Structure 1
């Protein structure tokens, strides 16, 4: 590996030198990956999954230390849940690597092909992006998910995790790299920044020409910093201010089940529901809020929502733009589909929004007009996950308009080049 874990980079020059060293090693490894066969990459990922399972005891012990420190630091219950690993979650991480290994290799696939009137054959083929930098918080599973997706798509990666998960990330990274190297791939294809000094983040953001793309995955402050400072292209994973609109024609049992799951299955995930919109003519609004209240969810409502149940507290203006990541939900009563669309347009973060209705025309209008990366009909927003989309894993949910949108997995980690084949044509 290029850098031992004790290195620090407390000044900007030190950080720049550290990142340059990581980048040079990563780019060299990426050149090897870009010409590695599909079978070899898949085998290396299976070896990495096996290494994670083999090192489970050490990984879980490292995670337990992180959790103890995070609890002492006052990390919120939602953030602690993101951080915490246990046997089934670790097995899920290893299984996700195997799922990525089983996916078709995107590299070299032909996007389209045409023959020009002059006989030139034009093809667009997928190629790796190059060296990707991923800056993330809290979630140790990102260390492995990101590594697996990058290796499978032929990209080298530099990972910079949050300080709250530093021991977990190092243990997971060590196991993953051991598996790669045992399978004959370069360990420098997946590097973990060996310091938590913030200067290293700044150096990654300024590494134009060394790092080809930055992916931030974390809270608003992290993403805002990355977007403000980066001189490298950014694929942003923004917060999930997600809505569910229960239309007048919704099936009441289905609506109640979807809303409860969307909010409370796991409150800390980015696909969790944060605002419930109820059609003013929906016949059973109390049937929507009662299960939430009974489960201990705090509801913050507008005037009409507060009238549904006295336990609903008045919302403040900022609530409509808040990603709670906790058992808190904003509730508004709206006058039909037009009002719901207007509310979502004003407050959505363009992550995931859903409609619950048996009216097909209303559903199709909602799907067509809501400008979000993921738009759903009669399904929980908690399905906003790369694994649930059949992608094996994800780097994040991209909410922008360029390059990739929604769950970013293998295809989102490739670009393309044109291949032109001729037979002696010259341009007149």
Structure 2
């Protein structure tokens, strides 16, 4: 290769190297400038980031303050609402009180007006009363004088009627005893059914002291009706007691076999037969009430038979009791059974439950053969074989007593409760009960 060419190539190479170096320097300068710019931008970015973080922190703080402020605002709003409700309630209460005061004032005015009207009316009535007072006083004096005269006449009439009534009762009882003695040998107990019928069916006769039944207690069972006599078949047992149902439609006899025979009182024909007790023991006494009849027998047996249905309502045996008398309370709720040794018991007429016994009272040790409730009040009379009559309360506490003319076989009260009759061998005695109970 020629030398000039080589020199030219070397010069070209050098120029290329110089240009490359210049370019490289330019590039390096540009890169340096870019690096400086990038560093500046990075610094700015970091500063911006710090500013943004600070702004974010401030925003969060502002948000927290805003939330707190909102909560305070909510609390204030709630407090204001509650206060407003209280104010509204107070206003309503005030309105209600005002209305009540208004109504009270109106009522007070109305009451005052009514009082004024009544006062005027009272004054007018007082004036009218004053006008008639003198006439009334004169009329009252006249009426008092007439009443005094009428009372005197009534007392005299009652006294005469009472004497006549007692005498008539004694005479009638004597007639009955005489009639019964002509039938069979009759014991003193024969008068007991008489007084029982007086108490139980008095509405069919002239007065309480006029009955027509008496029993002939003898070996041959029979029952006599005074005027005219009627024979009654009592079955296999002797008649021990007799009663007439409350409606007067059935004659009831109790025999020694413990059966009650229901018969037609007009014909004596039996219509039904009922075993009164839980065992075949003699019937000692009976007492009819309402649609039932109470009966007592040996071995302490007591029971109630429904007469209209001809069946036993209940029966029970009181241990150790020797019962000889029975009665029903005026209201038909209680049955009284009594016997020897001063024993007595009150039982529920519907169930047979023992309500009370004389073990808690003080009836003594008399042998009771007849008992009777006082028609009015809570008293009971007990008649004893000794002739003593005991008046006691339903608690079996003795209140008073008196002695008859002899052994008592039967007791009976007048419907008014003003007279007590007792029968026995002495006949019939009647007492005014004003001093007894």
TM-score by shorter chain over 0.5: no
Q: Give 1 or 2: higher strand fraction.
A: 2
TM-score bucket of the superposed structures, by smaller chain: under 0.3
Q: TM-score, normalised by structure 1?
A: 0.23
Q: In terms of Rg, which structure is larger?
A: 2
